[in-house]
Amino acid sequence: MKYILFLLALTGIVSANAQSTLQQTPKGASYQIFTQNVGEKIKLNDVITFQVVQKTDKDSVLYSTYAAGHPVQAQIRPSQSVADLNEIFPLLTVNDSVLVKVPADSIFKGHDDQRPSFFPKGSNLVFIIKILKVQSLNDAIAENNAAKEKITAAEAANAASYIAAHKLIVKTTESGLKYVITKPSLKLKPQTGDTLLVNYVGRTLDDKIFDTSIESIAKSAGTYQDGRPYEPLQVIVGTGSVIPGWDEGLLLLNEGSRATLVIPSGLAYGSQGQGDIKPFSTLVFDVELVKVKPIKHHAVAKAPLKKVVHKKKKKVAKKTS
């Protein structure tokens, strides 16, 4: 609602002002600053936090940080093109709002075949920007590091609570992967590059199943998808085709074994998240290594044995008296 009211208010301001009120940058962007707040202007290398709405000339919203639920950050660099807005930011200070129109012709110059139909010749990409925070690069780095440490500590505490609540006796690898083998096996152990068939159930720390290869579990969890084949997933292990926690964890197993992997976000989807998986989420996977299809691995050459050369003892002639 706040986003809608903000956009309506700015639209009203734009409608009330004639086109002649727009000013132009050297590279050809048109702009109008709605507020002139007192304060130091944004400088080269500053880090800014801001809300932005991207629209067409016909007010079709292409992207909105308000809709996304969080603002964005950017470091101010020398302007390389009209679309990077680095001509505009140094004109602003904290709490300033600005309307910017970037000619679509300049964006698609030289590759007009990539121009979408909603950006006809002579149209503009419109930005409505609100500056929330301006920081020096050092201050921004310090703040981000402190926030990351806080999030990392909270993630570790949540994972520890899950492990304790589920009475898991886990081992921890050097990378931070935690695992427990729930069904051991003495069958073939995979190596990097082998193709594996894996059944799995993926959960968040609140025990919500977000994905599985097993149809009955998908139906009971409410994640069933019509038309999707429910069968063991084929993975070429150790090649980056899956998240790092899987690449590492599956190599710890043997064909026929089962395990629970507790994978920290750094070995999963990190600070970006994925779909319904939130950023900085530790994930829990129950996995079964159904089959190992080994490739031909090169034998590791053994170092040649060094010959031991025994030195002959020199005979010492006996002295005659």
> Which candidate in 31, 119, 200, 280 is catalytic?
200
Element at 275 (helix H, strand E): none
CB 47 within 8 A of CB 73: yes
Concerning whether 211 is annotated as a catalytic residue, the answer is: yes
Give the helix/strand (H/E) hosting 260.
Answer: strand 258-263
Q: Where are the alpha helices (DSSP H) in 117-214?
A: 137-165
Half-sphere exposure of residue 73: CA atoms within 13 angstroms, side-chain side: 13
CA distance 45 to 281: 31
Q: Which of the residues 34, 210, 224, 230 is marked catalytic?
A: 210
Residues 6+ apart with CB under 8 A from 212: 200, 201, 202, 218, 221, 223, 230
**66 catalytic per annotation:** no
How far is the C-alpha of 60 from the C-alpha of 53, rounded, in Å?
10
**14's tokens:** 């734009």
Q: Count H helices, E strands: the chain? A: 6, 14
Q: Pick the catalytic residue: 209, 214, 285, 286?
A: 285
The first and second tokens of residue 243, run together, are 């998240």
Rounded distance between C-alpha atoms, residue 245 and residue 191, angstroms: 15
Give exposure, 74-103, as e/b (b: 16+ Cβ within 10 Å). Answer: eebeebeebbbbbbbbeebbbebbbbbbbb
Options 243, 247, 263, 286, the catalytic residue: 243
Q: Are 198 and 235 in contact (CB under 8 A)?
A: yes
**Listed residue (126, 91, 132, 133) closest to 7, CA to CA:** 126
Q: Which amino acid is at 163?
A: I
Residues 48/57, Cβ–Cβ less than 8 Å: no
From 96, 194, 211, 247, active-site residue: 211
> So which residues are the catalytic ones?
200, 210-211, 243, 269, 285
